Amino acid sequence: MKVEMKVNGTARTGDVEPRVLLVDFLRSNLRLTGTHIGCDTSSCGACTVLLDGEPVKSCTMLAVQADGRSITTVEGLATAAGLSPMQDGFHQEHGLQCGFCTPGMMLVGTALLEHNPDPTDDEIRWAISGNICRCTGYMNIVKAIQHAARARQTAAAAPRETAAAAAGGE
């Protein structure tokens, strides 16, 4: 079947069997390997992508179900200006160790801040509760998302300054 979707802002097409999972389409057909497979049962969230801005587990969705939709993967987080606040937050707060859960965590965090720009510790923990991390004990993931929330608020207050800072980031 022919599928057509917008992935990280670019129109992408493919010809897939109806049974092909979205995660396999992204990883194999589009070679966007930042989206990971951790469990096959929607439990771990390593395969999380944003579908029209909302987090979904791409191991539990068919590629054909994403036809006509807009997908954001981890590869779509950074911009020409540099890392997104979420990516920078994970680096600054040591929010990752092996890095395998990190794309899913960052995408969930990104979607959370769209709805709730200043989440509490508990709100962050519930938001990422569909994503498992085996390395960090979550302490620094929570801090990373809070870091991003602060950076976004600062950016909203002074857009020009922060864009320049982001461009010069690591």
Q: Site residues (CB under 8 A) for other proteins?
A: 17, 19-20, 27, 31-41, 43-44, 46, 73-75, 77-78, 83, 87, 90-92, 94, 96-103, 106, 124-126, 128-142, 170
Provide the residue count of the chain: 170
What letter does residue 7 receive in the DSSP assignment? E
Which one, 37 or 155, has the nearer CB to other proteins? 37
Which one, 56 or 128, has the nearer CB to other proteins? 128
Shortest gap between Cβ of 64 and other proteins (angstroms)? 15
Which one, 66 or 144, has the nearer CB to other proteins? 144
Distance CA 110, CA 87 (A): 9
Shortest gap between Cβ of 9 and other proteins (angstroms)? 15
Shortest gap between Cβ of 116 and other proteins (angstroms)? 15
Shortest gap between Cβ of 100 and other proteins (angstroms)? 3
Q: Which helix (H) or strand (E) holds 88?
A: helix 85-92
Which one, 27 or 162, has the nearer CB to other proteins? 27
Q: Which helix (H) or strand (E) holds 124?
A: helix 121-127
Which one, 17 or 118, has the nearer CB to other proteins? 17
Distance CA 39, CA 142 (A): 23
Please give the structure tokens belonging to residue 66: 């994403």
- Residue 130 · residue 108 · CB < 8 Å: yes
Residue among 22, 168, 66, 46 nearest 106 (CA): 46
Shortest gap between Cβ of 99 and other proteins (angstroms)? 3
